[in-house]
Amino acid sequence: MTSETRPRAGARGSDDMVRRLRHGTNQLTSAALARLDAELAWYRALPAEDRSWIGLVAQAGIASFIAWYENPTRGTSNAAEIFRAAPPELTRSISLQHTLQLVRIVVEIVEEHTDTLAAPEHRGALREAVLLYSREVAFSAAEVYARAAESRGAWDARLEALVVDSLLRDEPDDGLRSRVAALGWAGRGNTIVMVGSVDEHLDDVSAADLRRAARRASSDALVGIQGDRLVVVLGGEGNLREQAATLLDRFGPGPVVIGPQVRELADAGRSARAALSGLVAARAWPSAPRPVLADELLPERVLIGDEDARRTLLAEVYTPLLGVGGHLLETLGAYLDAGRSLEATARQLYVHPNTVRYRLRRISAVTGWDPTDAREGFVLQIALAAGRLSADEPS
């Protein structure tokens, strides 16, 4: 505290004034708490235990002011010392704004009781001292909350990194639910994982801004920065893929892959595996859209040995065609072998070209992939090859 913020030059507050203030401490505290209860809805909504802690804080603040007024060189206006009367968790129950309202009301109460607490010749000095002291307490309170927020932010960032890492390794445990709850994850709706690169090393400010952007995009969000790789986990209701696309400009150059949607965070490992595999495989499809779905990269993922992709193609393409019958698999193979020529396929199968057209439409209806489209035909070709190879595997 500077010399300008101390009571007037002269020296300490008068002994008579200090006695009056100490005698009125309980009266001032009771009046302050009554004012809090009457004017502030947030105070009335607090649990009884927290209200009692605030009473101790108010009493400690008044006592600290009296000690400072008696001897500015030994007293303190440090809010951390005043809040020492309450547990650290109180800063999570009341915000900085609430704390400043508490300071304001205590100041008003002391001012209102100036006439009864001070002799006429000391009232002006007492008012001035109260105002100076409250200003210093307000500034130090802001520092207390800033340090608490910084500490919580650093802890939350470390916790978030651990959660994202466990999801990528597909190792959810019993503590996952409590950890994500501490990070504000509500858990309503579905979950997807989005991966890509970061343009450059992100400092704390840029990383915090990225996290805020992710939380604006979706009701639930987790962000993991792993070297030059950026992982975003989004959860909630609505179209998560559209919400993820709004974060595209936060990623660096190169492919950005969105994993399949899963029902809950505990299953996010499957979405993460697909997205990470797609990030590696995307190099084989230079014209892929950005962002690209991991399921649109199924053939490239099969080529790099992704067993999940192979099983997906078998389950969604080969097995349904095999089950339908009607020469669909035979027609697909012949069409692809013939360079996607209707006439050549018809001659090879000894059928009319219209029959080939009909069967190709049936293949598209069954699998969701169009054999006549260059890209989708490639997907079907890899699925057909995977199916033929799986038929030779021992059961």
The last residue of a domain, from among 301, 335, 352: 301
- What's the total number of domains in the chain? 3
Q: Residue 322 and residue 324: Cα distance in Å, rounded?
A: 6
In terms of domains, do 220 and 286 share one?
A: yes
In terms of domains, do 145 and 247 share one?
A: no
Predicted local distance difference test score (pLDDT) of residue 325: 78
The last residue of a domain, from among 127, 151, 175: 151
The mean pLDDT of the chain is 81
In terms of domains, do 41 and 117 share one?
A: yes
In terms of domains, do 108 and 41 share one?
A: yes
Phi then psi for 285, rounded to 5 degrees? -130, 80
pLDDT at 240 over 70: yes
In terms of domains, do 293 and 345 share one?
A: no
In terms of domains, do 291 and 329 share one?
A: no
In terms of domains, do 28 and 146 share one?
A: yes
pLDDT class of 91 with cuts at 50, 70, 90 = low
Weakest mean pLDDT among 48-62, 277-291, 345-359:
48-62
Q: Residue 164 and residue 231: Cα distance in Å, rounded?
A: 8
The last residue of a domain, from among 272, 301, 330: 301
Q: Identify whether 181 is part of a domain.
A: no
For 63-78, what is the mean pLDDT?
69
Higher per-residue pLDDT: 188 or 279: 279
pLDDT tens by residue, 246-298: 999 889 899 999 999 998 888 888 999 999 999 999 999 999 999 999 999 99
In terms of domains, do 216 and 338 share one?
A: no
Q: Residue 254: which CATH number?
A: 3.30.70.2730
Q: Identify whether 287 is part of a domain.
A: yes
Tell me which residue range forms the domain holding 69.
Answer: 3-151
In terms of domains, do 288 and 330 share one?
A: no
Predicted local distance difference test score (pLDDT) of residue 275: 94
- Give bridge partners of residue 231 from the DSSP assignment: 195, 224
Predicted local distance difference test score (pLDDT) of residue 228: 84
In terms of domains, do 297 and 347 share one?
A: no
Degrees (nearest 5) of the Cα angle 248, 254, 255? 70
In terms of domains, do 8 and 145 share one?
A: yes
